[in-house]
Amino acid sequence: MNKPYIIGIAGGSGSGKTFFLKCFLEHFSADEVCLVSQDDYYIPVAHTMTAEENKHYNFDLPRTIDREHFHQDILSLMNYQTIHKQEYTFNNPNAVPKTLEIKPAPILIVEGLFILHFKDIAEKLDLKIFLETDEDVALKRRLKRDLEERGYSNDDVMYKWHHHVVPAYKEYLLPYRESCDKIVINNTQVADDIIRITDEISEQLRHKLFNE
């Protein structure tokens, strides 16, 4: 059996990766596509830190990811082996993590901030998609998510944004922009714009991979 066709989707915080992926995945059945997210490979640290230490801990560095485990799971899926991974709950003590079962498929999507920076992963990608968003738009999305979903204060979000998020984006993702096959500008709040783009990419892939 041929190896899966591997799509890398990279974008900074607030670039709209979650909605883009949701729209994209709707074009395929569970037997046709699987997804592995860098976010589930953070090295757990919440139990070792106080709340104040957690506030200043920089999660936007490559060393916060269990890169070896991430890479090994990608290799397993490439070899059509099912993987099991405990989801990461972003240091939320009230969240009960689920055990994720990811079954292999002809299309494998790998998404995350550092997937282009991690050379051993980047070299396996057949299609690289870069989601780009203006900084003010991305910040608004980040604020909405972290205040509503993750329980951070406004001060915490702004501190991390200026000291962690933006510097990491500029150092570990932006330099790889021009090496990507598709650059998707995602400043809109209009769902139809992203739906149209995922329609186009999905149609191309279905023709390429499934002769449809």
Which pLDDT tens digit goes with each residue over 44-88?
876 677 767 777 789 899 999 999 999 999 999 999 999 999 888
The mean predicted confidence, pLDDT, of the chain is 90
- Which pLDDT band, with edges at 50, 70 and 90, does 210 fall under? confident
Give the bridge partners for 12, in sequence order: none
pLDDT over 90, % of the chain: 68
In the predicted structure, residue 121 carries a pLDDT above the cut 90: yes
* Superfamily name and number for 5-210: P-loop containing nucleotide triphosphate hydrolases (3.40.50.300)
- Residue 15's identity, in one-letter code, is S
pTM above 0.75, yes or no: yes
* DSSP SS3 for 81: coil
* DSSP SS3 for 193: helix
For the chain, the structural domain boundaries read 5-210
User: Exposed, middle or buried: residue 37 (CB in 10 Å: 0-12, 13-18, 19+)?
Assistant: buried
User: Which of 49-58, 60-69, 100-109, 192-201 has the lowest average pLDDT?
Assistant: 49-58
Query: What do you get for the CA distance between the two ends of the chain, in Å?
Result: 20
Classify each residue of 143-157 as buried b or exposed e, where b means 16 or more C-beta atoms within 10 Å of its C-beta: beebeeeeebeeebb
* Cα Rg of the chain (Å, integer): 17
> How much is the average pLDDT of 84-101?
79
